[in-house]
Amino acid sequence: MARYQAGIRTEARIIDATRELLGENGLDGTTLKAICDRAGVRAGSFYNLFESKEDAVLQVVKDAIRAVDPHPKRDAPDSLNELVEAYISFVSGQPDVARVYLKIAISGATNGSLGGSMKRHHHRRVARFSSAIARENPELTEAESEVRAEIVLATLSGLAFMWMLEPKFDFEHRARLAVYAPLLNS
């Protein structure tokens, strides 16, 4: 009936190992052997806790997608400022998760079971940014707000990719400069 502590800890170690490997080496670099080695576990233990490798990978990836776009804490709609700051602290505060999001979610978006889930996530994000922009810039039509939302999101993603390419890259600075300084209310 009840699960044992050992199993729960092992499950967490496996999830952590999977997340790290996905961020470091991508999907094909994340083999079962690599996961088990890093988690300090044998294949049998893995399959006692997970149905398949895909099972563990999907858990990690779906968590990552959820972490980028958390539910609003307050009831009030979010401002563009809040959305951008949330993205910045996502990248800075959970770099492992962010790497998974950028590597797997985006690269795997055009194929496989992630494709659909990623497209939905993307539309949700655009809508959220778009409505914040529309609220703060009443002179824009709905279509114009949406285009601007897409551009802001594209810039944030692009900068995050650069950060992944070179960890020294000052993502925060670029992101704030790109979004606040030039684009809107100009």
Partner DNA sequence: CTCAAAATAGAGTGTATACTCAAAATCTAG
Partner DNA sequence: CTAGATTTTGAGTATACACTCTATTTTGAG
Which positions touch DNA (CB under 7 A)? Answer: 1-10, 30-34, 41-45, 47-49, 52-54
Among 28, 51, 75, 139, binds a second copy (CB under 8 A): 28
Instruction: Report in angstroms the alpha-carbon separations of 123 from 7, 110, 117, 129.
Output: 37, 15, 10, 10
Instruction: Report in angstroms the alpha-carbon separations of 100 from 8, 54, 79.
Output: 23, 14, 26
Among 56, 68, 98, 105, binds a second copy (CB under 8 A): 105
Tokens of 10: 């092992």
Nearest distance from C-beta of residue 70 to a second copy, angstroms: 21
Nearer to DNA, 43 or 127 (CB): 43
Q: CA 58 to CA 112: how far, in whole Å? A: 11
Residue 103 binds a second copy (CB under 8 A) = yes
Nearer to a second copy, 41 or 97 (CB): 97
Residues in the chain: 186
**To which H or E segment does residue 78 belong?**
none
Q: Which does 165 bind (CB under 5 to 8 A by kind): DNA, a second copy, none?
A: a second copy
Residue 177 binds a second copy (CB under 8 A) = yes
Q: Are 96 and 19 in contact (CB under 8 A)?
A: yes
Nearer to a second copy, 50 or 148 (CB): 148
Q: Which residues of 52-61 are buried (b: 16+ CB within 10 A; e: fewer)?
A: eeeebbbbbb
Nearer to DNA, 10 or 130 (CB): 10
Residue 84 binds a second copy (CB under 8 A) = no
Q: CA 22 to CA 16: how far, in whole Å? A: 10
Instruction: Report in angstroms the alpha-carbon separations of 35 from 12, 22, 67, 91, 137.
Output: 12, 10, 22, 24, 48
Among 34, 36, 67, 183, binds a second copy (CB under 8 A): 183
Among 13, 16, 24, 172, binds a second copy (CB under 8 A): 24
User: Which chain residues interact with a second copy by CB under 8 A?
Assistant: 24-29, 102-103, 105-111, 118-119, 122, 147, 150-151, 153-159, 161-162, 164-166, 173-174, 177-178, 182-184, 186
